[in-house]
Amino acid sequence: MMPDWCYQSQHTCATPCNGPEKWDHANKDCEGRAQSPINIVHRKTLPDERLTPFQFRKYQDSFIQVNVPHQPYVIGGDLELPYKVVQFHLHWGKNGGPGALQRITTTGANTTLASVSLEQLIPPQQNLTNYYRYKGSLTTPGCTESVIWTLRVFSDLQFKDGKPMVGTFRPVQPLNGRVVYRSGDAMVLASTVILMASVTMAMGLSQPN
């Protein structure tokens, strides 16, 4: 039986499946007009003074292989309420190629996601002021358009050990008139690079009950 959906890297003649171009077969919402990921062109983004630095709380010494204890949460960045972590997603390409959660047309370099400690995954406090913001969707079916994307640059999209996780991404989607905002301190980078969602949003945040 053909699965409801898969990534293009999983599609073979022996195991056909509905790749990203057919995800609307799995869920009609994947045809929406506010889908993610998108191509972010820095010069077309708008500064937004409301995008203040993020503050992470109760994240120290929590490891994602086991659990996310103590209800860690995020505040700041024009979020109306504190958001607690409920899940996380990691997406990237192969051999430095396309595949992260968004693409930005400016400049930059590659980095390494070397450890699975939440404390180390979260960027240093001084780097929590530079990011982009737009309204979009989940990047897997059902493609629900209820996500506030917050993005910053990562490098080396791989772990130090183990089999690399590659090809787990959706191609960029049309902007369809949406506006991408940037924080006041967002830096103009030096070359076309791939952006990966910061732990801030890649972890699937939800408002505390």
Residue 126 counted as domain residue = yes
The mean of the pLDDT values for the chain is: 66
Residue 12 counted as domain residue = no
Mean pLDDT is highest, among 24-33, 35-44, 60-69, 194-203, for: 24-33
- Which 3 state secondary structure label does DSSP give 120? helix
Above 60 in pLDDT, residue 185? no
Residue 17 counted as domain residue = no
Residue 156 counted as domain residue = yes
- Cβ–Cβ contacts within 10 Å for residue 198, how many? 25
Q: Quote the tokens at residue 21.
A: 């171009």
Q: How far apart are CA 109 and CA 190, in angstroms?
A: 8
CATH number at residue 35: 3.10.200.10
Q: How far apart are CA 188 and CA 186, in angstroms?
A: 7
Contact between 74 and 201 under an 8 Å Cβ cutoff? The reply is no
Q: How far apart are CA 113 and CA 154, in angstroms?
A: 7
Residue 122 counted as domain residue = yes
What are the tens digits of pLDDT across the range 95-148?
A: 555 554 445 444 343 333 333 344 545 555 555 677 889 999 988 898 999 888
Q: Quote the tokens at residue 45.
A: 């983004």
Q: How far is CA 194 from CA 49, 141, 147, 154, 201, in A?
A: 25, 22, 19, 8, 16
For the ranges 93-97, 145-149, 173-177, the lowest mean pLDDT is seen at: 93-97
Residue 59 counted as domain residue = yes
Q: How far apart are CA 6 and CA 78, in angstroms?
A: 34
Residue 172 counted as domain residue = yes
Residue 96 counted as domain residue = yes
pLDDT at residue 194, rounded to an integer:
36
Residues near 118 by beta carbon (within 8 Å), at least 6 away in sequence: 59, 62, 63, 64, 68, 72, 199
Is this prediction's pTM over 0.75? Answer: no
Domain that holds residue 140: 26-209
The total domain count for the chain is 1
Above 70 in pLDDT, residue 151? yes
